Amino acid sequence: MNSPFRFTTCRAGSEAALKRDIASHFAGELVPAFMKPQFITWKVRRSDFVPPRTLSHFARVSGISLGLCKTIAELTDHARKLPSGPVRLHVFPRDTPEDGVHADTWQRIDPLETEITRELQQAGVQLETRLPYAHGDWILDVIVGETDGEPLFLGCHEHHAGMHTHPGGLPRITLPEDVPSRAWLKLEQALAWRGWDQMDLRGQTALDLGCAPGGATYALLQRGMNVLGVDTGDMDPRILELAKSKAVRFEHWRTAAGRLNLTALPRDIDLLLCDINLAPPEVLPQVRRIQDAVQARRLILTVKLNTPALEDRAHEFIEAIREWAPAPVFATQLAANRREICVCAG
């Protein structure tokens, strides 16, 4: 489908990294056009430009821009021009807090989605709702502004492996008040992104590197996993209480990941996590050393990019992970991520 513009959405604060990343890979092909917080459109400079499936790891959603629509009728007219066949409808907010989109926002958007669905169906647009998503499914993206008076932005993209299936890449998960840390939310969003939240994890074993104070560990224990946590820091007292109530095992090795005795590690690790707040050149060799020893079936890695120089090397770090992590390897910046990206493998 041809269009002179592309669109991207991102987390608040990642707009600059997104612009630099696209400029470094598509110089002379894409230039910034319309911008708002967490949203950038791009002018396509070459008629023969063939975009990749995802423009950037810093783009939560990217696709073809169909423009601003003041009314649902105008949106419906644009939707009729999509390729023939069923499309999936994603309606989501542009402005997304890092601790999750709250229920009152969805309460404003859900009736709008219902109205758009009705108008599209009356216009003869076939909407696909069956699960799972299939390779090549067309997604109609409707991005909603902060006020009811703002025009709706309309775009579309093709679904491929590794892409979000939740509208806007926004699973309906918010940070509870009673968990040890924000790592709980990042872990839950990572599971939802890959569809692993639908798996029965009970009885499986996770190795959590950089576990303190225990947000991700808490989420895994809630799901019935046994967890071996590695960190020099203290764990939240609720960790042991939860492990006891769920009849699962939690063991805390108070050491740095780089000093782990590999021969003492279990040899049946289902999930390897790492959320250590050090730069990738320091952390990734240690994760590789541990993964070589335990051969975990799945990995969830939070790759810290706390400086522009590290952000600009994101592709380099992801390619390095592909050399030793179980396939497939996907990377994205989750809504709950800050200056970091999430890499899931396996």
> Per-residue pLDDT for 47 more than 80?
no
CB atoms within 10 A of CB 125: 18
> Per-residue pLDDT for 192 more than 80?
yes
Q: Integer distance in angstroms from the first to the last C-alpha of the chain?
A: 32
Closest listed residue to residue 172, CA positions, set 104, 225, 242: 104
CB atoms within 10 A of CB 156: 24
Closest listed residue to residue 96, CA positions, set 29, 179, 166, 48: 166
Residue 284, in any domain of the structure: yes
As for how many domains the chain has, the answer is 2
Do 90 and 197 belong to one domain?
no
Structural domain boundaries, residue 189: 183-345
Q: How far apart are CA 116 and CA 121, in angstroms?
A: 9
* The two three-digit tokens of residue 221, written as one number: 């224990």
> Per-residue pLDDT for 13 more than 70?
yes
Residue 177, in any domain of the structure: no
Q: How far apart are CA 307 and CA 217, in angstroms?
A: 27
> Could you tell me the pLDDT band of residue 83, with boundaries at 50, 70 and 90?
confident
Do 210 and 339 belong to one domain?
yes
Confidence (pTM): 0.94
pLDDT averaged over every residue in the chain: 95
> Could you tell me the pLDDT band of residue 50, with boundaries at 50, 70 and 90?
confident
CA 24 to mean position of chain CA atoms: 22
Do 145 and 189 belong to one domain?
no
| pLDDT reported for residue 2 | 65
Do 258 and 148 belong to one domain?
no
| pLDDT reported for residue 148 | 85
Buried b (16+ CB within 10 A) or exposed e, 157-173: bebeeebbbebbbbbeb
Do 109 and 136 belong to one domain?
yes
276-320: per-residue pLDDT in tens?
A: 999 999 999 999 999 999 999 999 999 999 999 999 999 999 999
> Could you tell me the pLDDT band of residue 48, with boundaries at 50, 70 and 90?
confident
90-119: per-residue pLDDT in tens?
A: 999 999 999 999 999 999 999 999 999 999
Strands 138-144 and 152-158: antiparallel
Do 14 and 107 belong to one domain?
yes
| pLDDT reported for residue 49 | 77
CATH code of the domain containing 233: 3.40.50.150
Among candidate residues 111, 145, 169, the one where a domain is terminated: 169
Structure-token match 């400029």, residue found: 23
> Per-residue pLDDT for 123 more than 80?
yes
Do 222 and 328 belong to one domain?
yes
Do 203 and 329 belong to one domain?
yes
231-248: per-residue pLDDT in tens?
A: 999 999 999 999 999 999
Do 160 and 50 belong to one domain?
yes
Residue 272, in any domain of the structure: yes
Among candidate residues 169, 192, 207, the one where a domain is terminated: 169
CATH code of the domain containing 119: 3.30.2130
Do 295 and 238 belong to one domain?
yes
Closest listed residue to residue 232, CA positions, set 252, 262, 208: 252
CB 231 within 8 A of CB 211: yes
CB atoms within 10 A of CB 328: 12
Do 40 and 101 belong to one domain?
yes
Do 13 and 99 belong to one domain?
yes
| pLDDT reported for residue 53 | 74
> Could you tell me the pLDDT band of residue 1, with boundaries at 50, 70 and 90?
low
